[in-house]
Amino acid sequence: VLCWQPDAGTTINNQILIEVSKCVEKQANASEFPQHFLGASLQEQPDKFYMALSKKRLIVEAESSMQTIMENLQSYRIKFALNCEGFQYRLGDFRVRVGKVVPMNSENLRGIVMEMEYLPIYSCKTSHLIMSEFFEILKETLGKKSLPGHFVHAEQNFSEFGLSDQYTSWHTVVQYASILAQMSTTMVLKKEDGKIPFASISPCSKMHKNFPQHFLGASLQEQPDKFYMALSRKRRIVEAESSMQTIMANLQSYRIKFALNCENLRGIVMEMEYLPISSWKTSHLIMSEFFKILKETLGKKSLPGHFVHAEQNFSEFGLFDQYTSRHTVVQYSSILAQMSTTAQ
């Protein structure tokens, strides 16, 4: 923690704070955001999507809708896609999956993968010793076939990713990120007869052209489990789970410049809603009459100011006449953009 010490004969003022903030912000902008990450979906966690940033030794878990959100935000693009699918076997306490790696919409074989899991034990170190012996037996069996190649297992230092000895899906993602980064692909779930897709891996790269530099994030009282992102310039509203803010922070793809809520005084806002009707056009006429009456009442108070309502063209955001939370976000993004330079 550092304290600013003013020079003799000077006092601290807001201009100093502004200049210091600009310097810090310049340094923050100079640091690189992750340009690439590997996205993964696993059979045992169908409602989850994992992002592996190998260079930063970081694994981020999100809802399965994360891929769609990334596409809508146009912040990252999928370089290309692979399917990883095959057969699953139960050999005593071992579960083995063997499958092929093929590009999306193609049967062009790109690789062969095998998963081994010792089900009774979750400790990586303990089960690793047992699986090593099992793998040696399997190698002997494969060696008798005189096949032109062999399986290779790259040892991983899971602690570098902040993972403990207790095995989880995150450990699986780290291993797929390692072997499939060599193939440089995306795997999309596509089931064929008799085969199961057991992993889906997606290397994504950051988009530079027309990349959205700013967006306004919003949480609403009536939708506490949702987080909305408004890209006003692109006329787009993206809906995500409330955990999206944490995910963005972990990915380090965006940073919050500053945050506003409707409690700390930076302005005064008023929401009006006519509950019986969900049609925006119909209720707008009724609320306009109500607002006129309210303005007359406020006018008698001689207050130094007045409320202003900026009309919005919701159709530009792809929104219909039926009012939703997204309509509310569009309006907040308009008025709060005037109070704050940029919000994320």
Domain hosting 187: range is 36-206
Predicted confidence at residue 300, as pLDDT, reads: 75
| Lowest mean pLDDT, pick from 115-124, 128-137, 261-270 | 261-270
155, part of any domain = yes
Q: Is the dihedral of CA 44, 123, 55, 344 positive or negative?
A: positive
**Minimal CA–CA distance to 253: which of 37, 27, 14?**
37
- The pLDDT mean for the chain works out to 75
Amino acid making up residue 29: N
28, part of any domain = no
Q: Same domain, yes or no, for 160 and 267?
A: no
Predicted confidence at residue 217, as pLDDT, reads: 81
Counting Cβ atoms within 10 Å, is residue 40 exposed (0-12), middle (13-18) or buried (19+)? Answer: buried
pLDDT tens across 3-51, in order?
A: 455 667 777 666 656 665 555 555 445 444 455 677 778 888 888 888 8
pLDDT tens across 167-182, in order?
A: 999 998 888 888 776 6
50, part of any domain = yes
What global pTM score does this model have? Answer: 0.53
Q: Same domain, yes or no, for 265 and 322?
A: yes
Q: Same domain, yes or no, for 123 and 260?
A: no
Q: What average pLDDT score do residues 148-157 get?
A: 84
Q: Same domain, yes or no, for 48 and 163?
A: yes
Name the domain count of the chain: 2
Q: Same domain, yes or no, for 134 and 71?
A: yes
26, part of any domain = no
Predicted confidence at residue 80, as pLDDT, reads: 64
Q: Same domain, yes or no, for 253 and 139?
A: no
Q: Same domain, yes or no, for 179 and 292?
A: no
Predicted confidence at residue 119, as pLDDT, reads: 92
Last residue of a domain, one of 206, 241, 268: 206
- Percentage above 70 pLDDT, the chain: 70
| Lowest mean pLDDT, pick from 178-182, 186-190, 306-310 | 186-190
Q: Same domain, yes or no, for 61 and 200?
A: yes
What 3-state class would DSSP assign to 115?
A: strand
Last residue of a domain, one of 206, 239, 258: 206
Q: Same domain, yes or no, for 264 and 132?
A: no
Last residue of a domain, one of 176, 206, 236: 206
211, part of any domain = no
Q: Same domain, yes or no, for 165 and 252?
A: no
29, part of any domain = no
User: Highest mean pLDDT: which of 269-273, 317-321, 333-337?
Assistant: 317-321
57, part of any domain = yes
Predicted confidence at residue 166, as pLDDT, reads: 93
Q: Same domain, yes or no, for 61 and 170?
A: yes
pLDDT band at residue 67, thresholds of 50, 70 and 90? confident
Q: Residue 170 region, left (φ>0) first, then alpha (ψ -120 to 50), else beta?
A: alpha
DSSP state of 75: S
Q: Same domain, yes or no, for 266 and 325?
A: yes
283, part of any domain = yes
Predicted confidence at residue 75, as pLDDT, reads: 62
Phi, psi of 339 (to 5 degrees): -85, -35
